[in-house]
A and B are shown apart, each in its own frame.
Chain A
Amino acid sequence: MSGHGHDGDPHLAHHFETRAQQFSSAKLGMWLFLAQEVLFFGGLFCAYAIWRALNPELFKYGATLLSKEMGALNTVVLLISSFTMAMAVRTSMLRQKTATLTYLFLTLICAGGFMVVKYFEYSHKFEMHTVMAGVVDPDTGQRQWLWSEGFDYEKFMKHDADQLVTEQGVLDGFYAGPRAQPAAALLPPEDRTAQPAAGHPPVGLAPGFLTKAHASSVRDSGDSGDSGGHDATHVATATPHEHWELTEAAEKLERPPNLHLFFGIYFCLTGLHGIHVLGGMVMLIWMLRGVSRGRFVDGHFTAIDCGGLYWHLVDLVWIFLFPLLYLI
């Protein structure tokens, strides 16, 4: 910094007139970044808004699979971390090294606690089979993740709905087709009668969801041989004007088959937020190292202040995420 004016102040860059101007510029730059972050998360919030508008019953159902208590615990942890971060900014302004170290460390602990709670939530979701789609192979009893190596598409397509139902009676299967329709069970009765073209079942519902009503032809009764005493669960080809109904197994479903819509947006939103928390933890570790070497408590605390802004934004996003996903 020598030879460019500003004799001797090591913390004033030569292209700034005063420390105050330098500080304001840094804050302005940070707020520009935060504006970008708002738009970054905003895209996912927009997806949430649209999907929720189109599938309100699905989102109400999905929220019941989340733990409000863990979400509330996460909210409390983040609020406390926001407080400790603000205290760290304050003590760094006051050039108090030990206090700053303490508050930064407490913020880091809270962030770690947040990720731990998140780990328990995610692993529970994984156990509930909402993360990966797959089916239980009836021959081996093994779960096959959809499209994984060795996934037998033809075999999957031929499975009875009964064979896709696990011990708990909840369907873990995945329904075919990217153009999903809402669960037939959630449609009003008059909409359930599909009129498939060329004898195919409606797009988006796995085999075993629908059956021909009042199956009376010889072909159908011959197919139900391996279903025991259940309703005909094979998807038989239907003539164009046949009437489709839900199979008994589909009626037993606790879970709408398009649940992945909710959990896709859940994992994207909370996952992106979790990545931001992890990034914030890296930042906090960097700050801790700096402060322990006396860097940010010598009058040049801008980095702590701007980092605090980032941390508060992470908290802000969670303040909106929590009610939207868990509470309503």
Chain B
Amino acid sequence: MSEPQTTAAQQGEHGEEHVGHLVPVKVLAALLAALLFLTVVTVAVSYFDLGPFNLAVAMVIAVIKASLVALFFMHLWWDKPFNAVLFVSALLFLGLFVIFCLMDSMEYQDKIDPNFGRDQMPQFVTETSG
């Protein structure tokens, strides 16, 4: 899955230990191809009207693309797990935030008074006296 951890190029003059990890070019190129393919798919699907499934399909494809970018371009696949824990928990908290806001936003529609402040509005058109 990966090249040898240390190469001659990574051993400096001080014989410093290895840091970082080389991702093979083939992996990166395959990733790019997969991401471009998924982009084509998501654009193509958008030309068809699937009703409420348009959003679902678009989001599923977006999550797959985002996972590929996060795991492999951003190196989470080979990193210490804690970095992934950080990132995923940020997303989870964001999800919590959005869910609470959405739940709340529909709560008060029937309490909104459409006539609120109307008597303080400027007269739009001066009526001819009559």
Enumerate chain A interface residues (CB-CB to B < 8 A): 8-9, 11-12, 18-20, 22-24, 27-28, 31-32, 34-36, 38-39, 42, 45-46, 49-50, 53-54, 68, 72, 75-76, 79-80, 82-83, 85-87, 90, 93-95, 157-158, 176-177, 179, 181, 194, 196-198, 200-203, 207, 218-219, 222-223, 234-237, 298-299, 301-302, 305, 308-309, 312-313, 315-316, 319-320, 322-324, 326-328
Please measure, in the bound complex, the distance between the C-alpha atom of A83 and the C-alpha atom of B26, giving whole angstroms: 11
Residues 63-92 (chain B) with a chain A CB within 8 angstroms: 65-66, 69-70, 73-75, 79-80, 82-83, 86-87, 89-91
Partner of B106, one of A46, A53, A76, A83: A53
Main secondary structure of the interface of B (DSSP, over half): helix
Partner of A87, one of B25, B36, B59: B25
- A selection of 9 A-B contacts at a CB cut-off of 8 Å is A46-B94, A54-B106, A79-B35, A83-B28, A85-B73, A202-B114, A305-B75, A319-B66, A328-B55
Please measure, in the bound complex, the distance between the C-alpha atom of A312 and the C-alpha atom of B19, giving whole angstroms: 20
How many pairs, one residue from A and one from B, have CB atoms within 8 Å of each other in the complex? 198
Query: Which residues of B lie under 8 Å from residue A28 when comparing CB positions?
Result: 82-83, 86
With both chains docked as a complex, state the minimum distance between the C-beta of A140 and any C-beta of chain B, in angstroms.
21
Query: Which residues of A lie under 8 Å from residue B73 when comparing CB positions?
Result: 82-83, 85-86, 308, 312, 315
A38 and B94 form a contact (CB under 8 A): yes
Please measure, in the bound complex, the distance between the C-alpha atom of A85 and the C-alpha atom of B75, giving whole angstroms: 12
B20 and A93 form a contact (CB under 8 A): yes
Report if A207-B124 is in contact (Cβ < 8 Å); known contacts: A72-B43, A328-B58: yes
Residues 111-126 (chain B) with a chain A CB within 8 angstroms: 114-119, 121-126
Query: Which residues of A lie under 8 Å from residue B10 when comparing CB positions?
Result: 93-94, 299
Please measure, in the bound complex, the distance between the C-alpha atom of A293 and the C-alpha atom of B2, giving whole angstroms: 30
Query: Which residues of B lie under 8 Å from residue A49 when comparing CB positions?
Result: 98, 101-102
B94 and A301 form a contact (CB under 8 A): no
Partner of B69, one of A194, A219, A319: A319
Let me know if B17 is at the binding interface, CB within 8 A.
yes
Query: Which residues of B lie under 8 Å from residue A235 when comparing CB positions?
Result: 124-125
Report if A35-B90 is in contact (Cβ < 8 Å); known contacts: A45-B98, A79-B35: yes
With both chains docked as a complex, state the minimum distance between the C-beta of A176 and any C-beta of chain B, in angstroms.
8
Report if A31-B102 is in contact (Cβ < 8 Å); known contacts: A46-B97, A80-B32, A82-B73: no
Residue of B nearest to A83 (CB): B32
Partner of B118, one of A38, A200, A237: A200
